[in-house]
Every structure is written in structure tokens, then in C-alpha cells.
Structure 1
Amino acid sequence: MFFVTGTDTDSGKTLVTSGLLMAINRESARLGSQWLTLGVKPIASGCEMTSSGLRNSDALQLMACSTLKLSYEQVNPFSFLPAIAPHIAAKNAGINLSPEVIAARLDLPAFAAADLCLLEGAGGWRLPLGEGRYLSELVQQLQLPVILIVGMKLGCLNHALLTQEAILADGLKIAGWVANSVDPNMSMFEENLTSLKEMMTAPFLGCVPFLESPTADNAANFLHCEALIKRVVTEACSPK
């Protein structure tokens, strides 16, 4: 199981997470061992009210790209209607959003059935949950390796390095990072990407260009999941 975070709210976490699921689905099929993959969105704001209840487009996209099919409530246990900071939405709804409460609502036994599970965060690494608590504490409690999505735009070097520093300072490992182009007019794109490759300490999982059609299938074409697959296989074969 991996936790996916971004350098900020609009870094493209869902596009890259769903792209990674599709890339892993393709690679495992190519190797003749179709994996059960699962994308989970524990917290989502900006949901839509439907006849089935609140639904979030990001969570639905992850479900569409997962080969392990779970209920919507298992994939997105905390959903909020307004597109505002989750801790504010939770407070307005009278919901306690502490790391312990979130952990208790995660269906970890069901997630364990997946060969690879990606938990997509909300916002950036230090997403507030209220009362001085942060979503990063949940990742610490579960001791999950982290995949960092860097939204490629002006200022991304600082954002990426500060996020990397915070993750490592929290005692966690970064399993890989992805560069995702969110500004088609970014100056000196290749030079910035080269600088990131020199300064980031984790494996580089690919660079997703600015896509006119930002689908999981298209994003998967630019992602390299071999390092993740190797890590999962190695851990599965390690003595418990």
C-alpha cells in the first residue's frame, strides 16, 4: 500500500494515481499475472449529490481504474458537498476528522486483498484535519511509503523539496515521484525537470506532459511502474 500526495491541491494527484493504476494493470497483464489494483480516496470535498448519495469525481475515476471492485463507501468513506478545505467542511457537518477516526473507517482487510493499493490524499502533505492534527499523521500511523506528485509550474522546485523534506522528517520513505505538467506555458520546463531529477532522492516514475485529453489511459503512457512493482514483489517475498 502506498500513499499518494502532491506538492499542492492542483498538482494532478488523481490523474497520476489513476494513470499509475492503469500502467500497473497493463504491465502485470503483459507479464501474465494480472494484479488486483485498488485506488482509494479517504477524504473528498467538492462532491455531488446523487440518488445514491454524495459522489466525488476523483473517487469514481479511481474506482474505474481499479481491478479490485469495492463499494463507493469503502473507496471514499469521508465525502463532503462543498468544495472547501476538508477540515472546515467536516466541522460544519459536525464530523470528527482526526487521524484515528479516519484510520478506523478505512477497510484495511478489504484493501489487503489488492496486490497494490494507492491511497490518494487531499491537498498537500500537511493537509489540516482540525485541532492541530494533519493527514500526514495517518500516513505515519500506517507507515506507508509515499509517492509524490510534483505539479510542474513556477515555484515547483521549492514546493517539491520542502515536501520531500517534510515526508523524510516524518520518518517515512518516498517510493517514487512523478512530474506532472499543470502549466502548458511553464518557462524552462526541461531545465526545471533536470534540476528536480538531481535533487529528488527517490526513483523517478515519469513525467506526464500537459494533456489535451487528461485521461488515465493517456497518463499511463508516460509512467514507469517497474520500481513500484519490484518493491511490492520484494516485500511480498520478504520473511514476515
Structure 2
Amino acid sequence: MSQGYFITGTDTGIGKTWSTISLMQYFKNQGQTVLGMKPIASGCDQVDGCLRNEDALLIQRQASLILPYEDVNPYAFALAVSPHIAAEQAGVEIDLDNIVEKYQQIEKLADVVLVEGVGGWLVPLNAQEDVADLALKLDLPVIVVVGIRLGCINQAKLTFAAIQQSGVQCHGWIASCIDREMLMLDENIQTLCQSTEMPLLAVLSYMEKLDPECFSREVRAKL
């Protein structure tokens, strides 16, 4: 059976996809076959008559095997809004069991499967369930991506506490340096290290362009 990880974050737009891609490259460099999923995506574009998400396409291309797009991203929505609203507007209900079934099919094909969540830990997915419920149903250890910018300490500590309360296993966290002008960058990261027992897995430096090979070398803890 493959090893899986669920990638969540402190917010949207803080580097979850780039972190996922970097981790995929890290495992590929170890000679493992790697697949990825972004089960739910808002803000998709029409490509040849089908909705496609830029981040999901990156994950699809980074994989060791090319999966059908619908396996990587079963729920794609045009509106760039919270997924439960986007789904309602599209006349669709996000079924977490369907995502789990997709994952169970995919995990048979690879040594490692990374599943990227949407938004933050408590983003609603339907009327009753949120991202935390999806992680629980998948029963995967969680990796938290923290966007290092002003306000990140509060967001990270709230996210760490919510994950701990949910009872899932947290494998560690990644510092995603998304603000080029961030003051006291190292001090912020050190403060977060001191505020949680979750290990710091990687510090992903600020970059204008995604470089998975470079990022993969910044993974500092064994996965």
C-alpha cells in the first residue's frame, strides 16, 4: 500500500500547490512513483469545453504517471469562491465518499500519493462537511503549509490547534515564504517552531517561478 499525505494550509494563495509539487519532486528523487490529487478546485477555466484548474494541471503533469484529469480533480468549478458556494451555484454537491473512492483507486498505482486540500483547514465543502472532514475520511497524515507573511503566527497557531483538536495525525509543517518584503522572516519562523511540537519539514524560499527541483532540496526533515 502506498504512503499518502494530505496537504492543507493556513489560507488560500499561500503556496499549497507549490509545496505539493516540491514534495512530489522530493519523493521522485528518492526513486518512488508519485501521484497527486487536488480533489476540489474553484476558479477553473474552460479548456476545450471542459473546466480545468491551473494548480490541478501542475499536479497532473508533475506525477510519475499521467492520470485522467477527472481523477486528479473530480470537482472543478468556474467561480473563484468558497467551494461549497461554487458547488451550489453549479448545482452540484461535493461528495466526500466519492473523493475517498478516487483516492483508493489512485493509491494502488504509486508509492506515494499527495492530496492537496482547498483553502484552509475549516473551509466548508458542503452543508455539513469541511476540509477537516475530508482529511479525516481519507485518514492521511496532514502537512500544513504556512504562508509566511504578516499575521502568519496567529493563523498558524489557530490552524495547528484546530488540527490537533480534530484528532488527525499532523506530520509537520512547511514555511512557505510568499512575501519578498517580509520583515524578520527568520524570527517569525523561529517563533512558530517554538509554538508547536509539529516538526518543520521545509522552508520554501521566495521565488518568482516554480522550480520543483530547487524547492525539493529545501526539504529538511525525513518524510
TM interval, shorter chain, is over 0.9
Larger deviation, residues 82-91 vs 208-217: 208-217
Per-residue CA shift, 1:49-98, capped at 9, x if unaligned?
11161111101111121113211111110001121111111001111114
| Counterpart code for 1:42 | P
**Please, what is the CA RMSD of the aligned residues?**
1.5
Alpha-carbon distance in structure 2 between the residues aligned to 1:173 and 1:181: 24
Partner SS, residue 133 of structure 1: coil
Determine if contact 1:39/1:117 at 8 Å carries over to the other structure: yes
Secondary structure of 2:122's counterpart equals: coil
Contact 1:203 1:227 in 2 (8 A): no
Number of the residue aligned with 2:208: 212
Inter-CA distance 89–39: structure 2 relative to 1 (3 Å threshold): same
1:67 aligned partner, one-letter code: S
- 1:173 aligned to 2:176? no
Aligned with residue 89 of structure 1, among 81, 86, 89: 86
Task: Report the counterpart of residue 143 of structure 2 in structure 1.
Answer: 147
Task: Specify which of 153, 156, 159 is matched with residue 160 of structure 1.
Answer: 156
CA drift at 1:133: 1.9
Secondary structure, counterpart of 1:129 in structure 2: coil
Counterpart position of 2:121: 125
Matched, 1:15 2:8: no
The one-letter code matched in structure 2 to 1:119 is V
What stretches of structure 2 of length at least 5 have no aligned partner? none
Residue 227 of structure 1 aligns with an amino acid whose one-letter code is: K
Match of 1:54 among 10, 32, 51: 51
Runs of 4+ in 1 over 6 A off after TM superposition: none
2: CA distance between counterparts of 1:109 and 1:37? Answer: 14
Q: Shift of the alpha carbon at 1:107?
A: 4.2
Aligned letter for 2:11? Answer: D
The corresponding residue for 2:110 is: 114
Which structure 2 residues correspond to residues 174-193 of structure 1 after superposition, within 5 A?
A: 174-193=170-189
Residue pair 1:148, 1:177 contacting (<8 A) in 2 also: yes
Q: State the identity %.
A: 38
For residue 21 of structure 1, what is the amino acid of its counterpart? M
Whole-Å separation in 2 of the counterparts to 1:218 and 1:44: 26
AA matched with 1:66: A
Deviation at 1:24, TM superposition (A): 1.6
Q: Which amino acid aligns with 2:53?
A: N
Aligned to 1:31: none
Is the Cα–Cα contact under 8 Å of residues 149 and 178 in structure 1 kept in the other structure? yes
Which whole-Å CA distance do the structure 2 matches of 1:198 and 1:68 have between them? 39
Give the TM-score, by structure 1 length. Answer: 0.87
In the TM superposition, what whole-angstrom CA distance separates every residue of 1:132-182 from its partner, at most 9, and x where no partner exists?
A: 321211211222110000000111111111111111111111112100011
AA partner of residue 18 (structure 2): L
Q: 2:222 aligns with which of 214, 227, 231?
A: 227
Query: Any conservation in 1 of the 2:35–2:64 contact (CA below 8 Å)?
Result: yes
Contact 2:84 2:127 in 1 (8 A): no
Gaps of 5+ in 1: 29-33, 229-240
Report the counterpart of residue 60 of structure 2 in structure 1: 63
CA distance in 2, matches of 1:145, 1:176: 9
Match of 1:39 among 36, 40, 45: 36
The one-letter amino acid of 1:19's match is S
